[in-house]
Amino acid sequence: MARIIVVTSGKGGVGKTTTSAAIAMGLAKKGHKTAVIDFDVGLRNLDLIMGCERRVVYDFVNVINGEATLNQALIKDKRCNQLFILPASQTRDKDALTKEGVGKVLEELSKTFKYIVCDSPAGIERGANLAMYFADDAFVVTNPEVSSVRDSDRMLGILASKSKRAESGDEPIKEYLLLSRYDPKRVKLGAMLSVEDVQEILSLHLLGVIPESESVLNASNSGTPIILDEDSDAGQAYSDVVARYLGEEVEHRFIEEAKKGLFGRLFRN
Amino acid sequence: MSLLNYFKTSKPKTAALAKERLQILIAHEKSMQNQPSYLPELQKDLLAVIQKYIEVDQDAVSVVFDSDDDQETLELNIILPEHQHT
Ligand SMILES: Nc1ncnc2c1ncn2[C@@H]1O[C@H](COP(=O)(O)OP(=O)(O)OP(=O)(O)O)[C@@H](O)[C@H]1O
Ligand SMILES: [Mg+2]
């Protein structure tokens, strides 16, 4: 049986796709067979972030409609043989995803995969609802910023009431906070909400803090999940997140401003 | 600009790579919009026929439709696996 993880936020552009690509790669690199699914119908982007955009032949909706088998649609990652990508459809048909269809695909994937990572679209419409409906765990990606925190809170309400687990009275979805685009310098200046602030408001288990990092743009430019950039702070932060999720005890990093040596200071301007 | 900035900017430029990837992708998506509707089915059928004889990947067959003022063409590309002796 697979564990289904939804990466969600409510608000757009907070780092869901970046996170989905990173943690899927991280889990796969740890030897767990992992599938990552793009639920953003009409605005496919996970393929670009994963660097497999030229290998897309069939998509999620093709599989749901029986136009392709799951094996035909899954793209095997070239860097890690435990990782598979299921791209979103570019159709403009908003009703292309159905609960039954998504359920069937997840059930079939569950037979052979250990983890299924669902990259949710923004908003609280059909795509976002279906991405979280079947989840066992939710990674709530939040930026330290008022509207993102509020939308995350709204999403938590939806996870607790509209999911399959909620409807069937099972144990609720496990919710984790992933605080992303964190800038300790601005927190220190009092210009940005701190980890403690956000945790106090959302009262969620903190899985990790991902620093605001230039390397994320470089990674997406080249189609490499940021977790593979082991020299970058954001990449390391995602590695920690994966380790913590898998039960390892890893101390939190990137919450305080890094103390730069002389060399580091020279390189900042 | 300090001397150190010079080293900082001499890193590989990922922006150029991003531009190239986007140009290829978007050109491809545009061409998909103008292509005849039978093309995906044709590609699927061709792949099935080829797979009867050769073990090829499912992305080994590509059918590209092109049109200019005086003619329309279909370009068929099949990538064979390495060392296929049967
Ligand atoms: N830690 C980070 N540091 C700097 N930039 C980041 C970080 N995380 C994400 N970004 C940038 O933020 C933007 C949005 O990221 P991403 O596409 O992952 O968000 P999203 O939540 O999936 O968006 P959408 O809601 O549109 O699906 C991208 O430009 C990405 O490069
Ligand atoms: Mg996204």
What mean pLDDT, rounded, does chain B reach? 81
Burial of A125 (0-12, 13-18, 19+ CB in 10 A): exposed
Say how far apart CA A268 and CA A9 lie, in whole Å: 32
Q: What does the pLDDT read at residue B4?
A: 55
How is chain B split into domains, by residue range?
A: 11-78
What is the CA(A71)–ligand 2 centre distance, in A? 24
Q: What does the pLDDT read at residue A269?
A: 45
* Cα nearest neighbour of B22 on chain A: A48
Element (H, E) at B76: strand B72-78
* Cα separations in angstroms, A224 against A21, A55, A235: 9, 15, 11
* CA-wise closest residue to A219 among B22, B76, B14: B14
* Cα nearest neighbour of A74 on chain B: B58
* pLDDT tens-place string over residues A228-261: 999 999 999 999 999 999 999 999 999 998 776 6
Q: For the beta carbon of residue A218, count every other beta carbon within 10 angstroms.
A: 20
* pLDDT tens-place string over residues B13-41: 888 899 889 988 888 887 777 778 888 88
ipTM over 0.90: no
Q: Whole-prediction pTM value?
A: 0.86
Which residue type occupies A244? Answer: R
Q: What does the pLDDT read at residue B40?
A: 80
Asked if the Cβ–Cβ distance from B58 to A267 is below 8 Å, we say: no
Q: Which residues surround ligand 2, an ion (CB under 5 A)?
A: A 16-17
- Atom 31 of ligand 1, nearest CA residue: A217
Name which of A90, A217, A223 is nearest B21 (Cβ-Cβ): A223
* pLDDT tens-place string over residues A42-54: 999 999 999 999 9
Residue B1 pLDDT greater than 80, yes or no: no
Question: pLDDT grade, residue A75 (50/70/90)?
Answer: very high
The pLDDT > 90 percentage for chain A reads 92
Which residue type occupies A258? Answer: A
Q: For the beta carbon of residue A255, count every other beta carbon within 10 angstroms.
A: 17
Q: Which atom of ligand 1 is nearest to the CA of A234?
A: 1
Mean pLDDT to the nearest integer, A32-41: 97
Ligand 1 proximal residues by C-beta, below 6 Å = A 9, 12-18, 40, 121-122, 180-181, 210, 212-213, 216-217, 220, 234
* pLDDT tens-place string over residues A179-237: 999 999 999 999 999 999 999 999 999 999 999 999 999 999 999 999 999 999 999 99
Say how far apart CA A150 and CA A11 lie, in whole Å: 9
Q: What does the pLDDT read at residue B58?
A: 79
* pLDDT tens-place string over residues A90-141: 988 878 999 999 999 999 999 999 999 999 999 999 999 999 999 999 999 9
Tell me which architecture the domain covering B11-78 has in CATH: 2-Layer Sandwich (3.30)
Higher pLDDT, B75 or A261: B75
Q: What does the pLDDT read at residue A66?
A: 93
Instruction: Tokens for A207, please give them.
Output: 């899985």
Q: Which residues of A67-106 are buried (b: 16+ CB within 10 A; e: fewer)?
A: ebebeebbbebeebebbbbbbbbbbeeeebbeeebbeebb
